[in-house]
Structure 1
Amino acid sequence: MSILLTGASGFLGRRIYEVLAAAQPVTTLGRRPVGERHIGCDLAGTIPQLEPLRFDWVVHVAGKAHAVPRTAQERTEYERLNVQGTKNLLSALAQRPLPTAFVYISTVLVYGRSAGDGLDEQTPLAATDPYGLSKIRAEQAVLDWGARTGVCPAILRLPLVVAGQPQGNLAALTNAIRRGYYLRIGSGLARRSMVLADDVAAIIPRVAQTGGIYNLTDGYHPTVRELEDAIARQYGRRYMPTMPPAVARIIATVGDGINAVAGRVFPFDSVALAKLTSSLTFSDEQARQRLNWQPRPVLSFFV
């Protein structure tokens, strides 16, 4: 069994590499080498040369995420890195003996929802932001390629991923709590879907053999308050000051005005407010039934 893994230098890709490489040879592909087997390539601008190597599975993690685009050029970066990069990889694979499986790491942001409860894989893909749109187009490229070639495609749609090194919104939340300037908004009872990076990595071999599209969550969907408290305990902070929702809405409105003029430079706006006060959860029942998905609660990571 031989595996090709892109995006291994990122926090999720590195964990996937560590788990897979413990059992079989893994070759990484990207701009920065990880491990002994590596193919140097900028997927966004190049179709990689993979000959004479042959891979049984391909796991595609590489792409652009987290950064909020402020200019038209930054918005096109999502298209270039996430969509064209995926197409370049698929083109390279079509020029050689085909793998048996292609696993694409996607996001629940393809649904384009800011609130909802138990959204499953049949939820319409309604993203309108550059990142969500780019992941929809990349997913479709993978599915179309699989239909043409007969390769088994698998797509994993992930919510907030929790790992040893926080990224994106979780990193911002952790830093604010650690430094003591975080304010809880209202009751903090909104629930959000999350998943552990280790559990995502562990399910890769099974989904590669099965194929399909799956939401992956921890099945518990902790409240914002539970997550805040768990992080606070790690840094010995016992008191969490609270901001009234009405005040938060005023500040968010000010943030909207600043960001409309200067790009999203103000850290707290209506988007950030919605993430902290609106429940958004996804169903992983399909993965549980077809993959025997048995994740651990995210909150166990902070114990």
Structure 2
Amino acid sequence: MSANPSPKPPTALLTGHTGFLGKYLARSLTETGYRVLTLGRTEGDIRTDLATQQPDLSGNVINLVVHAAGKAHSLPRSTEESQVFFQVNRDGTRRLLQALELLKKRPDALVLISTVAVYGCETGEKISEEVTLSGKTPYAESKIQAEALVQTWCAQQGVRCCILRLPLIVGADAPGNLGKMEQAIRRGRYVHIGAGSARRSMVRADDVARMIPKAAQTGGIYNLTDGIHPSVRELGDALARQIGRRMIPTVPIGFARILARLGDGINGVIGRKFPFDSITLEKMTGSLTFSDQLAREKIGWQPRSVLSFFAPDSDIDRNFIQPSDKRGQTY
């Protein structure tokens, strides 16, 4: 007499699996017991460019969708480049939803990886989910529109909806501003400005990945941060220690203001923005933090300090992430 067959594991459809955060998501979902079905442009079980094509999901029973594919980490230099953000982040989301709608059975839940950029804030402290979405960059606007599409579709289809708004993500082989900061420190081209006391919200990639199943079960819209919001100086010094660089030099704030005013003058002469001016200085020296209190209350969010990632005794497996092409990747 044969034993009863084991029940099939639930299936999670994951987009953006080759991206920075996507690799953490794929591993965590697998460890949690999901069969991970990947969708990507050049790699994956289903190969589709969501920016231009609707995927064929027929024949699959999908329990959870984690939509992490997207475009960021680049500044558009033309109208055409700006439109790419909308093609990938908004239109790609729409095509995914249209494909899901063709399935015989809808997924139980959909998790959209979004960004705190939707708030459009340059400075501020403990910004909550109740703040109006005022982001004006192509990246922010395209993510705002993607969020709206997902919320409307989930409500119409009876699918549990969860949107996770993430700040700077810390992990192995990080792209974006953190990657640029690390390279500048390696080359000796990074300095602290004044006290370096401006605080920034950040979150560990592995903490986000571990939270996906619980977030999917509960639904809702949440900011995820480490709750510590380290200062720019703390982050820079931690990075420098990790890569074995000497202490980062400091530029006095008074001297930085003089340089910024020179930049203001150059702006008027050349007719375009100089890399360092008073607006840039204000952004670099002003705090920007987001509240994760709602996530702590509703989904049991218990993150670790991002600075723990850089500690010598960190438990992170730095070898499982292989270097990837990070140009234009979001997560």
Deviation at 1:243, TM superposition (A): 1.6
Residue of structure 2 in register with 1:133 after alignment: 141
* Superposition deviation, residue 33 in structure 1: 1.8
Verify: 1:24 aligned to 2:34, yes or no: yes
Deviations 1:49-90 (A, max 9, x none): 100111000000001011011111010111111000000000
Q: Does 1:228 align with 2:242?
A: no
Aligned residue for 2:151, secondary structure, equals: helix
Structure-2 separation of matches of 1:95 and 1:207: 25
Match of 1:4 in 2: 13
Instruction: Give CA deviations for 1:142-175 in whole Å, capped at 9, x if unaligned.
Output: 0010111111110000000001112111111111
Is there any run of 5+ residues in structure 2 with no aligned partner, and where? 1-9, 312-331
The equivalent position to 2:80 in structure 1, one of 73, 82, 85, is: 73
1:271 to partner: Cα distance: 6.0
Q: What's the offset of the Cα at 1:7? A: 0.4
Select 1:83's aligned residue among 90, 115, 121. Answer: 90
Partner of residue 160, structure 2: 152
SS in 2 for 1:182: coil
Deviation, 1:99, is 0.3
Q: What residue is the counterpart of 2:316 in the other structure?
A: none
- How big is each residue's C-alpha offset from its partner over 1:16-42, in whole Å with a ceiling of 9 and x where there is no partner? 0011122221000011324xxx10000
The unaligned stretches of length 5 or more in structure 1 are none
Is the 1:60–1:102 contact (alpha carbons within 8 Å) kept by the matching residues of 2? yes
Q: Residues 260 and 64 from structure 1, CA distance in 2 versus in 1: closer, same or farther, beyond 3 angstroms?
A: farther
1:63 alignment counterpart? 70
Q: Distance in 2 between matches of 1:32 and 1:128?
A: 31
Report how far residue 268 of structure 1 moved. 4.4
TM-score (norm 1): 0.93
Q: Cα distance, 1:238 vs. partner?
A: 3.2
Structure with bigger RCO (C-alpha 8 Å, 6+ apart): 2
Aligned residue identity for 1:18: R
3-state DSSP class of the match of 2:117? helix
Which amino acid in 2 is paired with 1:204? Answer: I
Distance 1:105 1:115 in 2: 22
Matched, 1:118 2:126: yes
Question: What is the CA–CA distance in structure 2 between the aligned matches of 1:148 and 1:20, rounded to whole Å?
Answer: 26
Percent identity reads 52
Kindly indicate whether the alpha-carbon contact (under 8 Å) linking 2:237 and 2:247 is maintained by their aligned counterparts in 1: no
Give per-residue Cα distances to partners, 1:202-239, cap 9 Å, x unaligned. 00000111100000000100011100110111132332
Q: Which segment drifts farther, 103-112 or 14-23?
A: 14-23
Residue 226 and residue 145 in structure 1: after superposition, are their counterparts in 2 closer, same or farther (change >3 A)? same
- In 2, Cα distance between equivalents of 1:59 and 1:75: 25
Instruction: For 1:163 and 1:134, locate their aligned partners in 2 and report how far apart those are by CA, in whole Å.
Output: 25
SS in 2 for 1:113: coil
Partner of 2:38, secondary structure, is strand
> Cα deviations across residues 257-290 of structure 1 (Å, max 9, x unaligned)?
66997988x7545565344211011110111011
Structure number with greater Rg is 2
Change (3 A) 1:48 1:229: same
SS at match of 2:87: helix
Q: 1:188 aligns with which of 193, 196, 204?
A: 196
| Cα distance, 1:10–1:180 mapped onto 2, change above 3 Å | same
Q: How many residues align?
A: 299
